[in-house]
Homo-oligomer: A and B are copies of this chain.
Amino acid sequence: MDSVRIGLLGCGTVGTQVARLLHEQEDDLAARAGARLSLVGIAVRNVQAPRDPVIDRALLTADARALIAQSDIVIELIGGIEPARTYILDAFAHGASVVTGNKALLAAHGPELYDAAAAANVDLYYEAAVAGAVPVVYGLRESLTGDRITAVLGIVNGTTNYILDEMTTRGLSFDQALADAQRLGYAEADPSADVDGLDAAAKCAILASLAFHSRVSLDDVHVHGIRNITADDIASATRHGYVVKLVATARRRRRGIEAHVGPTLVPRNHPLAGVHGPFNAIVVEAEAADRLMFYGRGAGGAPTASAVLSDVVAAASHKVSGGHAPRELIYADLPVLSPDQSESRFQVEVDVEDTIGVLTKVASVFARHDVSISSVWQDAEEKVVDATGMPVCRLTVTTHVANQADLEATMEELDESPFVSGVRHVIRVEES
């Protein structure tokens, strides 16, 4: 095989960079793949639309199906569920391998696609779907196959990481930081996929499936966004040695897999604490390897195109010299735990009456629900009054690892206790 025919679906920011690099790095890529990678067409909705000058307009076509039919490898970068799903199944039916960056599609329809790829004996690669240029899909799918993974913790959304960074370093409110991010083009006009954690949740589902050899879908991931994080929360975290990050967590527990996305207190000396702005990082904890981290740019045209092209080289070298991508491995078939069953350290703020003995009363509520307290801070500076104007004392309680249902029961009982005027702001706490 002298050349491998590449069909590119979509020509946005990433697609344009893929086309550029396929051309600029032609000789390098050929040496690595064992054959020329020949871009035979670029399917777009509007052939007439203006394009970056690096795009050879002669390659543009509106007929995606015809392009797919003449490709050995199809790169799907149109995003969304349909027609992406149909195009990918179509590619498999024609014996083409597929490289995609479509996390939403994988999180929603992964099993169908994996099965179709295996049945057609072709490859499905998707490094670009999680954390841009960071090779964590390779990490989990290929390079950590000799170990038993116990947890995956990721900062996988650059927009929220930028917003939380700005809140931390400049003391901005969430709304101010979001407005800045929108002005600078780091956040969409409708920011909900990012700030409500949905983008991170799709990536969490993919990471959990790979790490634990089980099927975890988007619906299995419990999601909290960062809209409710206040400048006060950030200031309190900083005072106590933590950084607030939106963390996607997948953890193997005795009875199954825990998968959630939410704002999390990360100790300042944790490797994730130093991940700023547009960078992403994924910490993998494994029984023998202990803690690993993969770090890099989580988005952007060129970094994401780098991940796409690595997948293209791998798929092409299989076309040339045999072998195939790792198939979906779901032998472990672990159940996904409901949020109730999940376990974590938590931090809670409780406003209580300012009387002697109140701490004992609060502690006994936690104890009654089997939630063990790790520390209690009472910030002397914080002057707080309750709804009736009475001064209250604000306790910041950090727990040891506790069951979430137990914690919720604790909160409920506290909320109904006469010595408590308010329970607010529950946040997960990561171990250092």
Judge whether A296 is part of the interface by a CB distance below 8 angstroms. yes
Q: Among B17, B144, B291, B324, which residue has its beta carbon within 8 angstroms of that of A135?
A: B144
Number of copies: 2
Q: Among B138, B274, B289, B317, which residue has its beta carbon within 8 angstroms of that of A143?
A: B138
Chain A residues with a Cβ under 8 A of chain B = 17, 21, 25, 28-29, 31-33, 127, 133-135, 138-139, 142-148, 213, 271, 274, 286-297, 300, 302-303, 305-314, 317-318, 321-324, 326, 329, 331-332
Residues of B within 8 A of A291 (CB): 296-297
Give 6 closest A-B pairs by Cβ, nearest first. Answer: A323-B323, A146-B309, A146-B310, A135-B143, A138-B143, A133-B289
Closest residue of chain B to A99 (Cβ to Cβ) is: B146
How far does the alpha carbon of A228 sit from the alpha carbon of B419 in the complex, in Å?
64
List 8 additional contacts besides A32-B145, A147-B309, A288-B305; criterion CB under 8 Å.
A138-B139, A146-B308, A146-B313, A288-B303, A289-B296, A289-B303, A289-B306, A290-B296
Q: Among B134, B292, B309, which residue has its beta carbon within 8 angstroms of that of A133?
A: B292
Residues of B within 8 A of A139 (CB): 135, 138, 143
Residues of B within 8 A of A294 (CB): 292-295
How far does the alpha carbon of A138 sit from the alpha carbon of B33 in the complex, in Å?
16
Does the CB pair A288–B133 fall under 8 Å? yes
Closest residue of chain B to A291 (Cβ to Cβ) is: B296
Does the CB pair B148–A25 fall under 8 Å? yes
Does the CB pair B306–A297 fall under 8 Å? no
How far does the alpha carbon of A294 sit from the alpha carbon of B289 in the complex, in Å?
13
Pick 16 A–B contacts, CB within 8 A, sort by A: A25-B147, A28-B213, A29-B145, A139-B143, A143-B143, A145-B310, A145-B313, A146-B310, A147-B306, A147-B310, A274-B274, A288-B302, A288-B306, A292-B294, A321-B323, A322-B324
Q: Among B31, B271, B302, B311, which residue has its beta carbon within 8 angstroms of that of A274?
A: B271
Q: Among B31, B297, B311, B321, which residue has its beta carbon within 8 angstroms of that of A331?
A: B31
Residues of B within 8 A of A142 (CB): 138, 142-143, 310, 314
Does the CB pair A292–B296 fall under 8 Å? yes
The CB with the most chain B CB atoms within 10 A, among A133, A303, A329, is that of A133
How far does the alpha carbon of A31 sit from the alpha carbon of B330 in the complex, in Å?
9
Task: Kindly provide the distance from the CB of A216 to the nearest chain B CB, expressed in whole angstroms.
Answer: 17
Residues of B within 8 A of A326 (CB): 317
How far does the alpha carbon of A139 sit from the alpha carbon of B135 in the complex, in Å?
7
The CB with the most chain B CB atoms within 10 A, among A148, A274, A289, A290, is that of A289
Closest residue of chain B to A276 (Cβ to Cβ) is: B269
Residues of B within 8 A of A306 (CB): 144, 146-147, 286, 288-289
Residues of B within 8 A of A312 (CB): 146
Task: Kindly provide the distance from the CB of A215 to the nearest chain B CB, expressed in whole angstroms.
Answer: 15
How far does the alpha carbon of A323 sit from the alpha carbon of B135 in the complex, in Å?
21
Task: Kindly provide the distance from the CB of A289 to the nearest chain B CB, expressed in whole angstroms.
Answer: 4
Does the CB pair B31–A213 fall under 8 Å? yes
Q: Among B271, B302, B303, B329, which residue has its beta carbon within 8 angstroms of that of A295?
A: B271
How far does the alpha carbon of A287 sit from the alpha carbon of B31 in the complex, in Å?
18
How far does the alpha carbon of A181 sit from the alpha carbon of B344 in the complex, in Å?
36
Q: Among B29, B127, B144, which residue has its beta carbon within 8 angstroms of that of A310?
A: B144
Residues of B within 8 A of A145 (CB): 29, 32-33, 309-310, 313-314
Does the CB pair A324–B324 fall under 8 Å? no
Task: Kindly provide the distance from the CB of A54 to the nearest chain B CB, expressed in whole angstroms.
Answer: 13
Does the CB pair A307–B146 fall under 8 Å? yes
How far does the alpha carbon of A38 sit from the alpha carbon of B355 in the complex, in Å?
67
Task: Kindly provide the distance from the CB of A82 to the nearest chain B CB, expressed in whole angstroms.
Answer: 27
How far does the alpha carbon of A321 sit from the alpha carbon of B147 in the complex, in Å?
21
Residues of B within 8 A of A293 (CB): 293-296
